[in-house]
Amino acid sequence: MSNNSKVLALKYRPKTFEDLIGQETVAEVIYNSIANDRSANAYLFTGIRGVGKTTIARIVAKSLNCLKGIDKLCNEDFCENCEAISNSNHIDVLEMDAASKTGVEDVRDLIEFSRYRPASAKYKIFIIDEVHMLSKQAFNALLKTLEEPPEYLKFIFATTEIKKIPVTVVSRCQRFDLSRVDSSNLFNFIKQVKDKEKGKIKDEALKLIVKISEGSVRDALSLLDRALLSQNKKSEIDLKEAQKIFGFFDKSYLINLFKSLFKGDEEQVINIYRSIYNQGVEPKVFLNDFLEVLYYIKNISSIKLDGKNFSLNDEEFREIELLSKNVSSETLLLFWQFTIKTLSELDIVSNQNLSMEMFLIRLLYLKEDRILEREDMANLNNEKYLNNNVSKAEQVNLSKDEDNLDIKNKTISQIKNFSQEESSKPEKKIEPRLIKIEIKNFEKLIQLCNEKKELKLKYELETNVNLVSFADQRIEISFNENLEKNFVKELTSKLYDWTGQRWIIAFSKKIGQLSKKKNIEIIKSKIIEDAKNEDVYKKILEKFPDAELVDIKLKDNE
């Protein structure tokens, strides 16, 4: 591929060790080994996609075979060997994709080919990309040649999954782990490329590219390529436009979402999520970004804006810092747990958008429960405080009375009698104040479950319970086989919390009334049957014989 290639990832591919970005240590070690004629029999490069594994492999091949020597390694003016290696057509440098040639027969052909000396270069070099894809038998076939290759033979392996390579192979190679490229280095590099290409892109948009690429140079160049192709010649691409191009949404949306979550504003939470979804953001992308902001809220005190992390800008940092002061770590950890669980459940529901909205509603109720528990604890602590103060006040009053006994001799007997009467009275205990709710009938109980957001209990009462009798803190019921086994325990506990009284839930052998759900089904069925006798329905059937009445929606006044 020539330098005039329109694909930036190939056009700006490094040609020498000096051109490499973020891999200075690896480059220095390999350079010194080749310069001192102590190059390894086999090199193994591992790392994430787009950090330079195959690129370094080609540079090593050129360094070993360059006619000018490693100190004057070809950059612009290529020698015959360097030019052929760069174009992947050198007769002595064989590049093989292990993903397409995985078998032992392919490796045997390679070994057979290695017996012949190089035709025009100093070394015969085999570059095997994605080497982890080779079969176990293929790796075993390579072992002997790897350990004691001919003096003219070199192997260079590249892989993204080092754990899949047998240890026996790794131990015979000089291994180099290529790290993700630092954000600031990657930003400076793509900014230089942007200037060379005469692109009009603001720094904030370039920082977004760096963030999305996650340390991969190839990804960053591909994203920059897309941005340059999308730009209007007259205007400069800013952050908002870049977010639209890459399908990435602003973190300010998520920060506002968290604010509404912590306030308990369900309507606002759903509206913000829908605006994010309407931007074309996939649910999995949304959840991953949700987890990222959640992490920042929990750990904002240990995060610094040092110019190398482009995940947060100054304004977002301040907003998250304020949020973190008003939320407990326990709540944040529960949010994290629920989010991870939702990620694993995402593929169960066909419409993932609905899963997201229900996920956010669950978080709202979870937050509300935590607030209620905190208020209960605060009330108990206040009562302990009041009790302590009352007892202290009584002690102070008694001590004052004792002082008066020494001064006023005339009232000694009266004061003694008074103090004895007071001490004989039982100590008053301040009971927690409970707001008692009166539940007069079964319908009121279902309504209360709905108000208290006990949707599970409400469902059981409406669907799986048949009422026999309801009176004087006693509910007699019959039930079907679908009733939750912990239903009675949960209901009695909630009734005590709501009313301050003990309730008895008794099972009866009587069938009891039909469940509310069954009643609704019967009424609905009757309404549909009545509607089928209407003239309107009969006229519809005349024109559409296959039509069937499935449902009816009644007006409010009906």
3-state secondary structure of 192: helix
- Residue 305: its pLDDT value, please? 56
The lowest-confidence range among 99-103, 312-316, 360-364 is 312-316
Q: Which of 180, 234, 183, 179 is nearest to 208 (CA)?
A: 183
Considering 185-199, 369-383, 408-422, 485-499, the range whose residues carry the highest mean pLDDT is 185-199
Sorting pLDDT into bands at 50, 70 and 90, what band is 5? low
DSSP 111-135: HHHHTSPPSSSS-EEEEEETGGGS-
**pLDDT score of 466 more than 70:** yes
Q: Which of 157, 156, 171, 178 is nearest to 63 (CA)?
A: 156
**Average pLDDT in the 383-404 region?**
47
Same domain, 55 and 191: no
Same domain, 229 and 331: no
Same domain, 270 and 319: yes
Segment 541-554, tens digit of pLDDT: 777 777 777 777 76
Segment 223-275, tens digit of pLDDT: 999 888 887 766 788 888 888 888 777 778 888 889 888 888 889 999 999 98
pLDDT over 90 percentage in the chain: 13
Q: Is residue 546 part of a domain?
A: no
Same domain, 61 and 145: yes
**pLDDT score of 402 more than 50:** no
Number of domains in the chain: 4
Q: Is residue 257 part of a domain?
A: yes
**pLDDT score of 56 more than 90:** yes
Question: Helix, strand, coil: what percent of the chain each, to 5?
Answer: 60, 10, 35
Q: For residues 502 and 474, is the Cβ–Cβ distance under 8 A?
A: no
CATH number at residue 473: 3.30.300.180
Segment 301-310, tens digit of pLDDT: 777 655 455 5
**pLDDT score of 158 more than 90:** yes
Same domain, 111 and 161: yes
Q: Is residue 435 part of a domain?
A: no
Q: Is residue 527 part of a domain?
A: no
Same domain, 79 and 107: yes
**pLDDT score of 159 more than 60:** yes
CATH number at residue 309: 1.20.272.10
Same domain, 318 and 241: no
- Residue 120: its pLDDT value, please? 84
CATH number at residue 205: 1.10.8.60
- Of 367, 383, 398, which closes a domain? 367
Same domain, 279 and 357: yes
Domain span including residue 127: 8-177
Same domain, 329 and 278: yes
- Of 148, 177, 206, which closes a domain? 177
Q: 270-308 burial, b if ≥16 CB within 10 A, otherwise e?
A: bebbeebbeeebebeebbebbeebbebbbebeeeeeeee
Mean pLDDT of the chain: 79
Q: Which of 176, 179, 245 is nearest to 208 (CA)?
A: 245
Segment 128-138, tens digit of pLDDT: 999 999 888 88
Same domain, 223 and 257: no
**Average pLDDT in the 391-416 region?**
45
The lowest-confidence range among 70-79, 260-269, 304-313, 420-429 is 420-429
Structure tokens given for 508: 């009866």
What is the phi-psi region of residue 341: left when phi exceeds 0, alpha when psi lies from -120 to 50, beta otherwise?
A: alpha
**pLDDT score of 317 more than 90:** no
Same domain, 19 and 110: yes
- Residue 142: its pLDDT value, please? 87
CATH number at residue 84: 3.40.50.300
Q: Is residue 96 part of a domain?
A: yes
Mutual angle of helices 487-499 and 455-463, in 10-degree steps: 120
Tell me whether residue 460 is exposed, middle or buried, using C-beta atoms within 10 angstroms of its C-beta: 0 to 12, 13 to 18, 19 or more: buried
What is d(CA 269, CA 145) in angstroms, rounded to the nearest whole number? 63
**Average pLDDT in the 112-118 region?**
85
- Residue 418: its pLDDT value, please? 40
**Average pLDDT in the 26-36 region?**
90
Under DSSP, the state recorded for 501 is S
Rounded to two decimals, the pTM is 0.57
